[in-house]
Structure 1
Amino acid sequence: MLNNTFSIAGKNYRQLAPLFLRLVTGFGFMAHGWAKLSRGPAGFEKLLSQTGVPFPHIMAWLSTLTELFGGLAIFLGVFVSIAAIPLIITMLVAMFTIHIHYGFSSVKTIGLTPQGPVFGPPGYEINLVYIAGLVSLVITGAGVLSVDAWFVKRKTQR
């Protein structure tokens, strides 16, 4: 029976949808945060300084840790609505200070070498995809397979 909800053998699987969005979005943020941390925030600080971001040293650490721990919170589904706010702000700042100047597309092939394609700087497309995913999770919630759902279930059993 298929109607407005996805069901198999009478079971509704709609609440599983946020799981996939959470896993990809959370992992993506953690991967970006880890890349900044493993290369050393000083390099990212230099980029922030060149783009005129105030307090680049503090902001480099703040955005790195926001991506790491906010991404982990999204991944696990813990306090998703709260964790989404600083992540959305991070994406908006990145979009309007860096990516907006390079247009929409996040993948721009600008050349081809014997080693493979050469890509130009990314546009703001990926920022919008992350923002859309986070807004979707705020609206739908973290789903049944999340720490948030476990908290709710535990609270209602008392």
Structure 2
Amino acid sequence: MEKKYTRVAPLFLRLIIGAGAMQHGWAKLSRGPAGFEKLLIYLNIPFHHLASLTVPYIELLCGLAILLGVFTRWVSIPLICTMLVAMFTIHIHYGFSSIKTIGLTADGPLFGPPGYEVNLLYIAGLISLMLTGAGVMSVDAYRNKKTTSDWSL
């Protein structure tokens, strides 16, 4: 028998994945697509112009949808795709770990470029949401005509 509290578990994944994706998208948009495109050109990413225009909006809008639990299973797909592209074009070259201390200065530690660990964490969380759904505290649950008693723990 399913415990009632397990129906709210996807909320915690949605909050961090949605907010994280939105933060990454907003960071790219706030500097302008041209700044993000320069980074992609420097990293020799194919289709850099198209990616600089689409990736920030995918992260921002799909992140918001994940946060709210709207079409969660579907909006996870483009986010997984962006994570896979970032992982295989950029992060894979730096190994697994997302935190690499490469030195220590008087100002504190120096960190190297992040590996693909965080990409895998996002992908795993998104796959989990695809399998379980958005949970009871979501627009998806409300849209599926869940009763108010279904929203209780």
With normalisation by structure 2, the TM-score equals 0.91
Query: How far did 1:53 drift?
Result: 2.8
**Counterpart position of 1:121:** 113
What's the Cα RMSD here? 1.5
**Counterpart position of 1:42:** 34
**Counterpart position of 2:129:** 137
Q: Does residue 22 of the first structure (1) align with residue 29 of the second (2)? A: no
Query: How far did 1:112 drift?
Result: 1.3
Could you tell me which of 92, 102, 122 is aligned with 2:94?
Answer: 102
**Counterpart position of 1:51:** 43
Supply the distance in 1 between the matched residues of 2:37 and 2:21 (Cα, whole angstroms).
18
Paired AA for residue 77 in structure 2: I
Moved more, 48-57 or 83-92: 48-57
Q: Any stretches of 5+ residues in structure 1 without a counterpart?
A: 7-11
**Counterpart position of 1:33:** 25
Supply the distance in 2 between the matched residues of 1:114 and 1:153 (Cα, whole angstroms).
59
Aligned residues: 147
Q: Report the 3-state secondary structure (helix = DSSP H, G, I; strand = E; otherwise coil) of the residue aligned with 1:54.
A: coil
- What are the within-5 Å matches in structure 2 for residues 66-85 of structure 1? 66-85=58-77
With normalisation by structure 1, the TM-score equals 0.88
- Find the structure with the greater CA-based Rg: 1
Q: Does residue 63 of the first structure (1) align with residue 55 of the second (2)? A: yes
Supply the distance in 2 between the matched residues of 1:62 and 1:105 (Cα, whole angstroms).
27
Q: Any idea what the Cα deviations from partners look like across 1:5-38, whole Å, max 9, x if unmatched?
A: 54xxxxx111110000000000000011111111
Aligned-pair identity in percent equals 65
**Counterpart position of 1:91:** 83
